[in-house]
């Protein structure tokens, strides 16, 4: 764990505690976003806000205004060269029981983790993760994703499946685990989306029954289409992965990780669309100029 | 909402706030129990502790000792004539990321809601819920339960499916909604288990792929077996409900509710095993004498 400096705002106040009756804690009744910060600004801010709005509509969760979120995020990310901004929006405190409160008072929790160097100084070199070039080692998880179309795609606070999947390995050489759904379809990593390079072009699992629709995945697909790649979202299986020319993992905090081995089998990295990867990686880690 | 008096202990301290980095909030990484309190004591305390222990083993969550939970619960329930004790155990605070912390410091949140009369005095008449005799009106929810055998049965903190299901109706005349799983099997209510009275005896859905294995359900089945009823857990469908002689809902806080109408169709209550219901209801609301 690299050293870091942590600061938090709860409903705009510099605090770190939340009411124990908050429905985020009681039921996971809320949403979150984790956002890369570079040079004092968030990356892909609007993509994260869009996903938050989609989730809020689906969960009937009243969101704070974008202007308010931006103002509070700006207070936290100012001066942060390299870091992570996390925003959690819950339905707020309520009496016991699943029923929605008549007058919900959503809780907004924003915090920033600033990466420091070994001397405890702010990092000023936002150099990229070496794994973007070297690739990562990946395993297959036993933990499956339950099917729930109503929640599919959202970055909600019910993440026990990911916790259990991530708990399956301790080997620090393994960077990610892929997950199947209850019916055996290949969906994503515990904290990333999966894109295959195939004869068709780019193929990626549908996120219509489970999984999170990642903002980095969306950026990659958008840039790929603009660059003339064929892009297809469909139901994929493990056999599709094994037949693919290569595979990429996407995550808003690390960008793109090519898979260099899966379950101990080496994967050839030479068939990957390196110029596309380079372009998307740069876009994902680019501080938002106008947000 | 009847008036109530609320008191909370967090890790044994009289506080009401939780660290915003708690994994209970970040990921729903924890378990809970809601326990009826009568005459200054919890009801079915050991059943709740047993389920907590089962969940903790499944989630690899280190639990506080039963003696510690009991000591803190005792501080809260003392003098409470009629109320509810809620215990939440989370994996505690951690750095960002799904990975389990190497040295988890679980958080225990215990609170009691004491029911007061309209004058704000403690209720001294723990009279039973009239719905146990009159029955309740029930609807069918559109929200489905995703299948996840690893989490099935546990009372964990990932409860968005129940929140969405409960949000489907506002009519105060409807007391509960039944839920199907992703494959259409009938599983439970949003906050209760379902038991059908059939030619076989008592039949109840298997809780092996989703749903919570309720402590009240377990008590009912145990007492029914001891009383000579045939009891069968199996995969059930809506057709089984429609063919049944009657149906019961169980919940640790209210005990037993017979279903008196389903989706607007009246259900005959005369075929119900009233002596069994009476016996179980009494057992469920009996303050634990030795706990």
Instruction: For residues B43 and B78, state if they share a domain.
Output: yes
Instruction: For residues A148 and A255, state if they share a domain.
Output: yes
Paired tokens of A274: 């390196």
Locate the chain B residue with the closest alpha carbon to A190.
Answer: B98
Instruction: For residues A154 and A225, state if they share a domain.
Output: yes
| CATH code for the domain of B269 | 3.20.10.10
Output the pLDDT for position A127. 64
Output the pLDDT for position A264. 95
Does residue A289 lie in a domain region? no
Size of interface A-B (CB pairs under 8 A): 181
Return the percent helix, strand and coil in chain A, to nearest 5.
25, 35, 40
Angle at alpha carbon of residue B156, lines to B151 and B158, rounded to 5°:
90
Instruction: For residues B135 and B105, state if they share a domain.
Output: no
DSSP B163-181: HHHHTT---TT--EEEEEB
Chain A positions touching B88 (Cβ under 8 A) are 20, 25-26
Tell me which residue of B245, B229, B282, B252 sits closest to B46, measured CA to CA.
B252
Predicted model pTM = 0.95
How close, in Å, is residue B168 to chain A by CA atoms? 9
Paired tokens of A82: 């390299």
Does residue B265 lie in a domain region? yes
Output the pLDDT for position B127. 64
A128 pLDDT tier (thresholds 50, 70, 90): confident
| CATH code for the domain of A99 | 3.30.470.10
Please enumerate in sequence order all residues whose Cβ is within 8 A of that of B234, keeping only pairs 6 or more positions apart, or say none: B203, B205, B206
Paired tokens of A13: 């106040």
pLDDT of A129 above 70: yes
Pick the last residue of a domain from A115, A139, A170.
A115
Complex prediction ipTM? 0.95
Please enumerate in sequence order all residues whose Cβ is within 8 A of that of B248, keeping only pairs 6 or more positions apart, or say none: B194, B195, B196, B197, B220, B256, B257, B258, B259, B272, B277
Instruction: For residues B153 and B58, state if they share a domain.
Output: no
Does residue A186 lie in a domain region? yes
Paired tokens of A21: 């009756």
Instruction: For residues A70 and A202, state if they share a domain.
Output: no
Cα(A203)–Cα(A195) distance, rounded to whole angstroms? 6
Output the pLDDT for position A2. 60
Does residue B68 lie in a domain region? yes
Q: Among A100, A146, A157, select the one facing B147 at the smallest CB separation.
A: A146
Does residue A126 lie in a domain region? no
Output the pLDDT for position B244. 96
Yes or no, beta carbons of B59 and A160 under 8 Å apart: yes
Does residue A98 lie in a domain region? yes
Pick the last residue of a domain from B91, B115, B139.
B115
Instruction: For residues A238 and A274, state if they share a domain.
Output: yes
Percent of chain A with pLDDT over 90: 90
pLDDT of A1 above 60: no
β-pair partners for B193: B188, B250
A124 pLDDT tier (thresholds 50, 70, 90): low
Residues A3, A121 contacting (CB under 8 angstroms): no
Instruction: For residues B222 and B255, state if they share a domain.
Output: yes
Does residue B82 lie in a domain region? yes
Residues A283, A219 contacting (CB under 8 angstroms): yes
Residues B183, B190 contacting (CB under 8 angstroms): no
Output the pLDDT for position B198. 96
Q: Among A26, A96, A109, select the one facing B84 at the smallest CB separation.
A: A96
Ordered per-residue pLDDT tens for chain B, 291 residues = 567 789 999 999 999 999 999 999 999 999 999 999 999 999 999 999 999 999 999 999 999 999 999 999 999 999 999 999 999 999 999 999 999 999 999 999 999 999 887 777 777 666 678 899 999 999 999 999 999 999 999 999 999 999 999 999 999 999 999 999 999 999 999 999 999 999 999 999 999 999 999 999 999 999 999 999 999 999 999 999 999 999 999 999 999 999 999 999 999 899 899 999 999 999 999 999 888
pLDDT of A173 above 90: yes
Each residue of A144-164: pLDDT tens digit?
A: 999 999 999 999 999 999 999
Q: Is the dihedral of CA B106, A5, A130, A236 positive or negative?
A: positive
Yes or no, beta carbons of A165 and B98 under 8 Å apart: yes
Output the pLDDT for position B119. 78
Instruction: For residues A143 and A260, state if they share a domain.
Output: yes
Output the pLDDT for position B130. 87
Paired tokens of A291: 């947000």
CA separation, residue A81 to residues A44, A113, B65 (Å): 16, 11, 44
Instruction: For residues B110 and B145, state if they share a domain.
Output: no
Does residue B121 lie in a domain region? no
Cα(A196)–Cα(B223) distance, rounded to whole angstroms? 55
pLDDT of A100 above 70: yes
Locate the chain A residue with the closest alpha carbon to B155.
Answer: A27
Our count of domains for chain B comes to: 2
Each residue of B78-124: pLDDT tens digit?
A: 999 999 999 999 999 999 999 999 999 999 999 999 988 777 777 76
Question: With left for phi above 0 and alpha for psi between -120 and 50, is residue B92 left, alpha or beta?
Answer: left
Output the pLDDT for position A119. 78
Q: Identify the domain containing residue A42 by its residue range.
A: 4-115
The alpha carbon of residue A241 and the mean position of all alpha carbons in its chain are separated, in whole angstroms, by 21
Instruction: For residues B190 and B107, state if they share a domain.
Output: no
Instruction: For residues A175 and A106, state if they share a domain.
Output: no
Pick the last residue of a domain from B115, B146, B179.
B115
Residues A147, A51 contacting (CB under 8 angstroms): no
């Amino acid at each position: 764990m690299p050293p870091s400096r942590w600061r938090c705002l709860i409903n705009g106040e510099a605090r770190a505690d939340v009411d124990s009756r908050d429905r985020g804690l009681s039921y996971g009744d809320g949403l979150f976003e984790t956002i890369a910060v570079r040079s004092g600004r968030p990356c892909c801010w609007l993509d994260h806000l869009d996903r938050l709005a989609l989730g809020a509509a689906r969960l009937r969760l009243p969101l704070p205004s974008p202007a308010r979120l931006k103002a509070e995020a700006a207070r936290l990310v100012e001066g942060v060269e390299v870091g992570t901004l996390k925003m959690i929006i819950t339905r707020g405190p309520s009496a016991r029981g699943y029923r929605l409160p008549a007058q919900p008072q959503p809780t907004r929790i924003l915090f920033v983790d600033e990466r420091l160097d070994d001397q405890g100084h702010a990092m000023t070199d936002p150099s990229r993760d070496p794994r973007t070039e070297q690739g990562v080692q990946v395993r297959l998880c036993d933990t499956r994703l339950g099917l729930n179309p109503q929640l599919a795609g959202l970055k909600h606070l019910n993440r026990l499946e990911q916790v259990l999947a991530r708990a399956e390995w301790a080997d620090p050489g393994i960077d990610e685990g892929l997950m199947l759904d209850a019916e055996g379809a290949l969906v994503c990593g515990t904290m990333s989306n999966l894109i295959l390079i195939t004869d068709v072009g780019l193929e990626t699992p549908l996120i219509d029954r489970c999984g999170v629709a990642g903002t980095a995945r969306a950026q990659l697909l958008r840039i790929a289409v603009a660059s003339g790649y064929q892009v297809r979202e469909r139901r994929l299986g493990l056999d599709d992965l094994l037949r693919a020319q290569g595979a990429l993992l996407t995550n808003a905090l690390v960008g793109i990780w090519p898979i260099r081995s899966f379950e101990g089998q080496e994967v050839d990295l030479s068939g990957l669309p390196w110029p596309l990867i380079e372009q998307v990686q740069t876009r994902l880690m680019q501080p938002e100029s106008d947000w």
